[in-house]
C-alpha cells in the first residue's frame, strides 16, 4: 500500500535547516521530519495507544532540546560587527546559564555604522559575559563622543565601564589605535589583576594639561607575555613594563625607528633582568646604526634570554655578535628584515663563524638570518659557516 502524499501548501512550508552541506541531516526538509512523526503517531493510535503516541513526540522533543543545550550556548564566540554583537546579546539575555559559560570572545567593531550604537552594543555584550577570560577587540574608529574623550578616550563611556567589570580577564588583545587618559589606563589595568597576556597594536595616552600624563598603576601581578608598540606610547609602555617586571617572561616591542632606539631601550629597562623571549623589529626607513647604540647595551643586560629576534638595522651587527657569547642561556637567535632596505647592513662571515665556534657546548640550537645579511659572502664564507654550524650542533638557516 503506497503511503499517502503529503499535501503541499505555501502556508505550511518550513525552511530547510541551515546545516553543514556534508551533514546527512542537511538534506532532510522539515516537512519530511513532520511526516515521519505523523506516521509514528498514527501507528500508535492505530494500536489504540494514544499515550504512547503522545510520549513519542514529547520524548523526541526533549532529546532535541537536550542536544541544543549541549551545543548552544558556546564557550567562545566570534562577532564580526556591532549588529551581530547586539544579536548575540539578545540571545544571551534569555539564557542565564549561557552567559556564565562564555569564556572566549572575539569582537570586531566596524568603522562606520548607522547611528551611535556601536559602543553601546559592544558594552551590552561585554556586560552579559561576566566570566570571559580571553577577549580580543578590534576597534577601527573611536566609540566615544566628543564630550567623553577626555575621561573615556576612544573607548567611550559604556565600553570603558563594561571593561572595568571584567575582573577575570587573563588574555587581552586590542587591535586598532586606542586613546585614553592616563587615569583611564590606570583604572583599567588595576581592574585586571589576573591578566597574564596582553597584545596591543597601539595604545596612546591622551595628553591633557589638567590631568596627569603618566599612568600611576604600580602592579600587574600576573602579566607574563607582553606585545605592544613601545615607540607609539613610550610612557604608557614603560609603566606597563615596570608594573609587570617581576613576572614578565616574553616581551615584544614592535617596530622601532632608528631615531627611537634610545627611547625604546629606556622604556624596557625595568624588565631586562627577567625576560626570556625578546623581539624588536625594524621600522620602515630604518638606517644602519653605528657601534655603541643603546639597544646593544639593553640586549647585553638580558641575562636570562633564551629567544632573541631582532630587526637587522636595530643594532650594529659586529658589536652584537661580540656580546652574544655573554647571553649564556640563548637557544634561538633570529635577525630578520621585515622591510626591504636599499642599503642593508652586511654581517661579516667571520663574525658568524667565530660565534658558532664559541657556541659549541652551549645551549644555542638555532640561528636564522635574513639573506640580506649575507650579501657579498663568497662560496668559501658559506662553507666555513656551514661547517662551524655542524660542528657546534647549531641549526643555521636563511630567510
Convert the pLDDT of each residue in 346-356 to its tens digit.
Answer: 788 999 999 99
State the pLDDT at residue 210.
Answer: 60
Cis before 324? omega within 30: no
Which regions of 189-306 does DSSP assign to beta strands (E)?
A: 197-205, 225-228, 250-256, 277-282
Burial bucket for residue 196 (CB in 10 Å: 0-12, 13-18, 19+): buried
Q: Is the model's pLDDT at 269 over the cut of 60?
A: yes
Helix residue ranges per DSSP H, 211-348: 234-243, 261-267, 294-300, 317-323
Task: Note if the pTM is more than 0.75.
Answer: yes
- Residue 255 pairs in a beta bridge with 281
Each residue of 45-69: pLDDT tens digit? 777 677 777 787 888 888 888 887 7
Closest CA to 276 of 225, 200, 334, 218: 225
* Secondary structure percentages of the chain, helix, strand, coil, to 5: 40, 20, 40
State the pLDDT at residue 259.
Answer: 82
Provide the mean pLDDT of the chain: 83
Tell me which DSSP letter residue 214 carries. S
* Domain locations in the chain as residue ranges: 249-399
Higher confidence at residue 21 or residue 91?
Answer: 91
State the pLDDT at residue 71.
Answer: 76
- Which pLDDT band holds residue 10 (cuts at 50, 70, 90)? very low
State the pLDDT at residue 12.
Answer: 45
Each residue of 95-136: pLDDT tens digit? 777 778 899 999 998 877 655 788 999 999 999 999 999 999
CATH 3.80.10 fits 249-399, yes or no: yes
Q: Is the model's pLDDT at 326 over the cut of 70?
A: yes
The answer to whether 227 and 252 are in contact (CB under 8 A) is yes
Kindly list the distances between the CA atom of residue 126 and the CA atoms of 19, 36, 85, 90, 116, in Å, as whole numbers in the listed order: 28, 43, 9, 12, 17
Amino acid at each position: 500500500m503506497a503511503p499517502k502524499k503529503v499535501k503541499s501548501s505555501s502556508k505550511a512550508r518550513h525552511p530547510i535547516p541551515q546545516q553543514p552541506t556534508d551533514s546527512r541531516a542537511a538534506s532532510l526538509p522539515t516537512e519530511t521530519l513532520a511526516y515521519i512523526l505523523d506516521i509514528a503517531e498514527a501507528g500508535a493510535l492505530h494500536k489504540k495507544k494514544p499515550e504512547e503516541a503522545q510520549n513519542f513526540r514529547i520524548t523526541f522533543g526533549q532529546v532535541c532540546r537536550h542536544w541544543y543545550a549541549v551545543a548552544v550556548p558556546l564557550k567562545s564566540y566570534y562577532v564580526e560587527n556591532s549588529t551581530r554583537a547586539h544579536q548575540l546579546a539578545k540571545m544571551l539575555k534569555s539564557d542565564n546559564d549561557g552567559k556564565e559559560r562564555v569564556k572566549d570572545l572575539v569582537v570586531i567593531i566596524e568603522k562606520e555604522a548607522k547611528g551611535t550604537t556601536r559602543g553601546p552594543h559592544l558594552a551590552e555584550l561585554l556586560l552579559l559575559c561576566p566570566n570571559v577570560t580571553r577577549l580580543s577587540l578590534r576597534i577601527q574608529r573611536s566609540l566615544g563622543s566628543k564630550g567623553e574623550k577626555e575621561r573615556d578616550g576612544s573607548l567611550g563611556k559604556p565600553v570603558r565601564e563594561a571593561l572595568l567589570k571584567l575582573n577575570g580577564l587573563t588574555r587581552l588583545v586590542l587591535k586598532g589605535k586606542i586613546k585614553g587618559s592616563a587615569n583611564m589606563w590606570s583604572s583599567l589595568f588595576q581592574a585586571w589583576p589576573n591578566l597574564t597576556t596582553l597584545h596591543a597594536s597601539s595604545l596612546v595616552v591622551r595628553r591633557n594639561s589638567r590631568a596627569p600624563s603618566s599612568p600611576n598603576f604600580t602592579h600587574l601581578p600576573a602579566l607574563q607575555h607582553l606585545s605592544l608598540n613601545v615607540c607609539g606610547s613610550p610612557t604608557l609602555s614603560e609603566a606597563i613594563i615596570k608594573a609587570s617586571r617581576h613576572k614578565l617572561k616574553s616581551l615584544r616591542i614592535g617596530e622601532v625607528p632608528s631615531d627611537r632606539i634610545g627611547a625604546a631601550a629606556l622604556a624596557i629597562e625595568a624588565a631586562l633582568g627577567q625576560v626570556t623571549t625578546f623581539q624588536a623589529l625594524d621600522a620602515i626607513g630604518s638606517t644602519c646604526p653605528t657601534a655603541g647604540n643603546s639597544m646593544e647595551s639593553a640586549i647585553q643586560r638580558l641575562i636570562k634570554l633564551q629567544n632573541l629576534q631582532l630587526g637587522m638595522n636595530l643594532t650594529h651587527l659586529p658589536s652584537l655578535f661580540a656580546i652574544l657569547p655573554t647571553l649564556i642561556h640563548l637557544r634561538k637567535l633570529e635577525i630578520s628584515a621585515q622591510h626591504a632596505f636599499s642599503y642593508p647592513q652586511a654581517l661579516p662571515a667571520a663574525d658568524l663563524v667565530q660565534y658558532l665556534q664559541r657556541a659549541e657546548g652551549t645551549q644555542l640550537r638555532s640561528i636564522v638570518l635574513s639573506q640580506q645579511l649575507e650579501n657579498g659572502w663568497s662560496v668559501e664564507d658559506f662553507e666555513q659557516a656551514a661547517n662551524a654550524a655542524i660542528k657546534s650542533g647549531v641549526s643555521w638557516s636563511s630567510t
